[in-house]
Amino acid sequence: MDILKPREVSLVEFSTTLCKAGGVEQVDVVVREVDAMTETIRLTLTGSSIRYEEVTKVLKEQGMAVRGIDEITVARSKKADA
C-alpha cells in the first residue's frame, strides 16, 4: 500500500497498533519520501486473513490516506486433516 502519513505520527506506535488489526501478522514500513509535513510510506501487511476494513480504520484514525494499493497476493491454504 502507498500511504501518505503525517510526520508527527510515530512509525513504531503506528506499526504496533496496525499489527493488532484483524488478521495482520506482520507489518513492514519503508519511508519513500519526506516532505515538511508528511511522509510517503510503502506499507506491506502479511497475514492469513487480513481484515481490510480494520486496517483502513487504523489508518484513518492516525490521519493517514491510502494513495494506492500496488500489489495483492491471495493464496488458498489447505486445512489440516482433523
The reply to whether 22 falls in a domain is yes
The reply to whether 74 falls in a domain is no
Number of domains present in the structure of the chain: 1
Q: How far, in Å, CA of 34 to CA of 6, rounded?
A: 10
- The three cell numbers of residue 52 are 481490510
* Domain span at 20: 2-68
The reply to whether 81 falls in a domain is no
Three-state DSSP class for 72?
A: coil
Closest CA to 6 of 46, 35, 42: 35
The reply to whether 79 falls in a domain is no
The reply to whether 80 falls in a domain is no
pTM value surpassing 0.75: yes
Provide the greatest CA pair distance for the chain.
56
Domain CATH for 25: 3.30.70.1340
Q: Mean pLDDT of successive 10-residue segments in the chain (82 residues)?
A: 94 92 94 95 92 93 92 76 54
Going from the C-alpha of 35 to that of each of 2, 7, 15, the distances in angstroms are: 15, 8, 20
Question: Cell 495483492 belongs to which residue?
Answer: 72
Which pLDDT belongs to residue 66? 93
- The three cell numbers of residue 61 are 484514525
